[in-house]
């Protein structure tokens, strides 16, 4: 079985047993792997109405067929489960080196079932599987957990774990690997915590077989050339990291500031990628087989570690009215240590600041010495730590994410979230397609389910008028479908700045020995999208939730280059439903599901 390892490892945490199963090759080709195959297994095995923290919920950790191959940036894995944050199917992906190592150990997927009676670590060394008590690392931060387990593990083993946030069932907890890479979104770390699983240590010794290794060598060379020649992947990302976006998004007047109350941050230069590179960057970091190396390794005072990414800089920066890069770097560092999603953590703090601004949170609610005033960078690190440990009233409510926190304090409308998941760093009022994408994302507020910023702001693969309505539904669908394929193949989305659908099909065919066309991979993406939609509908996430916070629909941007705009979602949604083959009410038609074989 080329590309795929050919095996699934099913782990029962309740009784510490496991079994190995053969991968269904036909099913794998239909749903590709990663996000798609993980979602298919969820749909087959886990009731959509299960409570996320019920032991009946499962966590599927899935590589794709290109994970661990020489394909550029082919090191991704997915964590698929029912989300405690959104109630939707969750699939959060991460880079680093853990995913490829799982493949080398001989597994395409891990299926984690049940709940351990007490904290446990799972060690995987090829076909040797062991369960070890995790009492000594439970409660510990991510770097410390990783160091301790590295001592107990085979040389060069890769370590995935949760931090205190996952143990404490924070609904915005991440799964961490290689210390500072995160499967960040949708609270997947909390589901792992609910199973009393602290870490998975993996070491493998075999490489996946390649159908046509000569052809792959040629295509890898060509793809690497495209990535190097492309201005974004060959120059912008390596030099400045993702933070290079701060200025372009701000200059376009779509950089949400003070919890989306305004969209231009006059101090953006202080948190820009240029400023980061000049003052804080120690070195670049790359994931498995990745020539881009967009990762940053930075230092601010006593803190030194991976990141921060653009989204993080925005969430702890402009979203909170903060322009102190040192505070942002430290907050990012502590999010990684606590095992928190940096987007949701920052946006939830921003929502708390607005609740304070509006008198819903008062000084009496706030821990001594801390502040929730706009721009209060000095308090960020402490809020992150309190969030991770559910310490105090505010810390406990922050751990629930913005929606539940804002609801508790009587003003849910300040939660800048879709399907209860915090929105990322682009105000959709000035980027129409991105607004449609946010509203229809199958895991709630998210930019990487269909990155419309690429055509609407960056001009890739072509420049679209960001204020136009016409044609946006079609673009969103193509971006969502292609992304679903990339997420399932085990590749990094950033490769799509330089590699097109045909390029992906060629790489996939060389690895798997298939004859996929560009149309086939888009159809696979469409199939995966509809499978997720179907699951969400059965989970009770009805189409009325394909919407945005009222502020983004009703309140025009008050000033700056995008002044006067609202999202105009209702003008795009009917067309989107139509081209998806869904009813006017947003339900996939029977013939659509049949055609796609869902």
Partner 1 sequence: MEIKVRLFATLRENRGKELQLSLQDKATPEDVINKLEIAKADVAILLVNGKDGNYTRELNEGDVVSIFPPVGGG
346 binds partner 1 (CB under 8 A): no
User: Which parts of 543-572 interact with partner 1 (CB under 8 A)?
Assistant: 560-562
- 442 contacts: CB under 8 Å, gap ≥ 6: 88, 89, 449, 529, 532, 533, 536
Minimum separation from the CB atom of position 431 to partner 1 (A): 12
Q: 465, 474, 584, 594: which one contacts partner 1 (CB under 8 A)?
A: 465
For β-strands 109-113 and 59-63, DSSP reports them as antiparallel
The owner of tokens 């105090």 is 392
User: Which parts of 347-406 interact with partner 1 (CB under 8 A)?
Assistant: none
- DSSP-based three-state secondary structure for 3: coil
DSSP per-residue letters across 13-53: TTTTEEEEEE--HHHHHHH-SHHHHHHHHHHHHS-TTS-TT
Closest C-alpha among 361, 364, 365, 383 to residue 315: 383
On whether the CB atoms of residues 37 and 27 are closer than 8 A, the answer is yes
Minimum separation from the CB atom of position 571 to partner 1 (A): 21
Query: 499-508 long-range contacts, Cβ below 8 Å, gap at least 24?
Result: 499/72, 499/223, 499/226, 499/227, 500/461, 503/223, 503/226, 506/219, 507/66, 507/71, 507/216, 507/219, 507/220, 507/223, 508/3, 508/65, 508/66
Element (H, E) at 220: helix 213-229
169 binds partner 1 (CB under 8 A): no
453 binds partner 1 (CB under 8 A): yes
Q: 54, 56, 251, 396: which one contacts partner 1 (CB under 8 A)?
A: 251
User: CA 525, CA 476: separation in Å to the nearest integer?
Assistant: 13
475 binds partner 1 (CB under 8 A): no
- 70 contacts: CB under 8 Å, gap ≥ 6: 216, 217, 220, 289
Q: 260, 451, 504, 576: which one contacts partner 1 (CB under 8 A)?
A: 451
Q: How many residues bind partner 1 (CB under 8 A)?
A: 44
54 binds partner 1 (CB under 8 A): no
56 binds partner 1 (CB under 8 A): no
DSSP per-residue letters across 463-504: ---TT--TTHHHHHHHHHHHHHHHHHHT--GGGGGT--HHHH
Q: 9, 112, 197, 237: which one contacts partner 1 (CB under 8 A)?
A: 237
Element (H, E) at 62: strand 59-63
Torsion of CA 406, 412, 416, 422, to 10 degrees: 60
312 binds partner 1 (CB under 8 A): no
Which of the stretches 42-50, 121-129, 449-457, 521-529 binds partner 1 when contact is defined by CB under 8 A?
449-457
| Closest to partner 1 by CB, 387 or 464 | 464
| Closest to partner 1 by CB, 170 or 233 | 233
On whether the CB atoms of residues 112 and 327 are closer than 8 A, the answer is no
241 binds partner 1 (CB under 8 A): yes
| Closest to partner 1 by CB, 148 or 460 | 460
Q: 223, 233, 342, 440: which one contacts partner 1 (CB under 8 A)?
A: 233
Closest C-alpha among 54, 72, 66 to residue 294: 72
Closest C-alpha among 189, 184, 197 to residue 345: 184
User: CA 539, CA 371: separation in Å to the nearest integer?
Assistant: 38
User: Which DSSP symbol is given to 558?
Assistant: -
341 binds partner 1 (CB under 8 A): no
Q: 242, 298, 344, 567: which one contacts partner 1 (CB under 8 A)?
A: 242
Q: 454, 508, 509, 536: which one contacts partner 1 (CB under 8 A)?
A: 454
Which of the stretches 26-34, 463-471, 502-510, 538-546 binds partner 1 when contact is defined by CB under 8 A?
463-471
| Closest to partner 1 by CB, 49 or 235 | 235
Minimum separation from the CB atom of position 442 to partner 1 (A): 17
User: Which parts of 272-311 interact with partner 1 (CB under 8 A)?
Assistant: 273-274, 294, 309-311
Q: 1, 50, 469, 493: which one contacts partner 1 (CB under 8 A)?
A: 493
Give how far Cα 435 sits from Cα of 91, 444, 586, Å.
21, 12, 17
What are 109's two structure tokens? Answer: 């997927």
Minimum separation from the CB atom of position 330 to partner 1 (A): 21
Q: 50, 211, 248, 293: which one contacts partner 1 (CB under 8 A)?
A: 248
Q: 253, 256, 306, 377: which one contacts partner 1 (CB under 8 A)?
A: 253
Minimum separation from the CB atom of position 254 to partner 1 (A): 9
x/- binding map, residues 503-542, to partner 1, per CB under 8 A?
Answer: ----------------------------------------
On whether the CB atoms of residues 241 and 307 are closer than 8 A, the answer is no
The owner of tokens 């440990």 is 389
463 binds partner 1 (CB under 8 A): yes
Minimum separation from the CB atom of position 139 to partner 1 (A): 33
Q: 457, 484, 522, 539: which one contacts partner 1 (CB under 8 A)?
A: 457
User: CA 185, CA 173: separation in Å to the nearest integer?
Assistant: 8
239 binds partner 1 (CB under 8 A): yes
State the residues that interact with partner 1 by CB under 8 A: 230-233, 235-237, 239-245, 247-248, 251-253, 269, 273-274, 294, 309-311, 447-448, 451, 453-454, 457-460, 463, 465-466, 493-494, 497, 560-562
């Amino acid at each position: 079985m080329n590309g795929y390892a050919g095996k699934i490892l099913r782990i029962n945490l309740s009784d510490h047993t496991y079994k190995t199963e053969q991968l269904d090759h036909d099913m794998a080709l239909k749903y590709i792997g990663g996000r798609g195959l993980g979602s298919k297994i969820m749909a087959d095995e886990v009731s959509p109405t299960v409570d996320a923290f019920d032991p009946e919920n499962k966590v599927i950790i899935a590589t794709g067929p290109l994970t661990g191959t020489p394909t550029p940036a082919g090191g991704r894995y997915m964590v698929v489960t029912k989300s405690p944050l959104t109630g939707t199917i969750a699939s959060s992906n991460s880079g680093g080196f853990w995913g490829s190592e799982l493949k080398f150990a001989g597994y395409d997927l891990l299926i984690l079932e049940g709940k351990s009676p007490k904290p446990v670590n799972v060690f995987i060394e090829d076909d040797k599987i062991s369960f070890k008590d995790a009492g000594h690392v439970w409660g510990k931060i991510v770097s410390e957990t990783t160091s301790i387990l590295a001592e107990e593990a085979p040389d060069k083993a890769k370590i995935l774990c949760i931090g205190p946030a996952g143990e404490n069932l924070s609904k915005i907890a991440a799964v961490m690997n290689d210390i500072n890479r995160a499967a960040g979104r949708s609270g997947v770390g909390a589901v792992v915590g609910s199973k009393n699983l602290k870490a998975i240590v993996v070491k493998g010794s075999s490489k996946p077989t390649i159908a046509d290794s000569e052809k792959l060598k040629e295509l890898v060379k060509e793809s690497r050339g495209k990535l190097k020649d492309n201005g974004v992947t060959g120059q912008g990302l390596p030099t400045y990291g993702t933070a290079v976006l701060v200025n372009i998004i701000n200059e376009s007047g779509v950089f949400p500031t003070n919890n989306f109350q305004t969209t231009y941050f006059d101090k953006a230069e202080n948190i820009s990628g240029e400023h980061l590179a000049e003052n804080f960057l120690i070195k670049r970091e790359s994931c498995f087989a990745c020539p881009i190396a967009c990762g940053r390794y930075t230092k601010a005072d006593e803190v030194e570690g991976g990141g921060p990414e653009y989204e993080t800089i925005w969430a702890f920066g402009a979203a909170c009215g903060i322009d102190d890069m040192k505070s942002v770097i430290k907050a990012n560092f502590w999010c990684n240590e606590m095992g928190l999603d940096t987007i949701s953590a920052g946006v939830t703090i921003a929502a708390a600041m607005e609740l304070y601004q509006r008198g819903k949170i008062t000084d009496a609610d706030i821990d001594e010495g801390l502040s929730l005033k706009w721009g209060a960078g000095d308090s960020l690190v402490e809020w992150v730590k309190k969030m991770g440990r559910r310490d105090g009233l505010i810390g406990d409510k922050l751990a629930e994410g913005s929606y539940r926190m804002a609801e508790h304090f009587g003003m849910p409308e300040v939660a800048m979230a879709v399907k209860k998941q915090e929105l990322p760093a682009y105000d959709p009022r000035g980027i129409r397609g991105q607004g449609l994408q946010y509203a229809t994302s199958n895991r709630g507020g998210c930019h990487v389910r269909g990155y419309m910023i690429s055509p609407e702001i960056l001009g890739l693969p072509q420049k679209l008028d960001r204020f136009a309505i016409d044609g946006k539904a079609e673009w969103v669908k193509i971006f969502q479908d292609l992304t679903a394929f990339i997420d399932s193949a085990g590749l990094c989305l950033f490769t799509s700045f330089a590699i097109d659908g045909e390029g992906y099909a060629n790489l996939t065919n060389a690895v798997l020995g298939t004859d996929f066309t560009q149309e086939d991979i888009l159809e696979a993406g469409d199939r995966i999208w509809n499978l997720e939609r179907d699951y969400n509908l059965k989970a009770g996430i009805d189409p009325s939730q394909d919407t945005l916070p009222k502020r983004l629909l009703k309140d025009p941007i008050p000033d700056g280059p995008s002044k006067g705009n609202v999202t105009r979602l209702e003008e795009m949604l009917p067309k989107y439903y139509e081209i998806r083959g869904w009813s006017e009410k947003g339900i996939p038609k029977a013939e659509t599901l049949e055609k796609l074989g869902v």
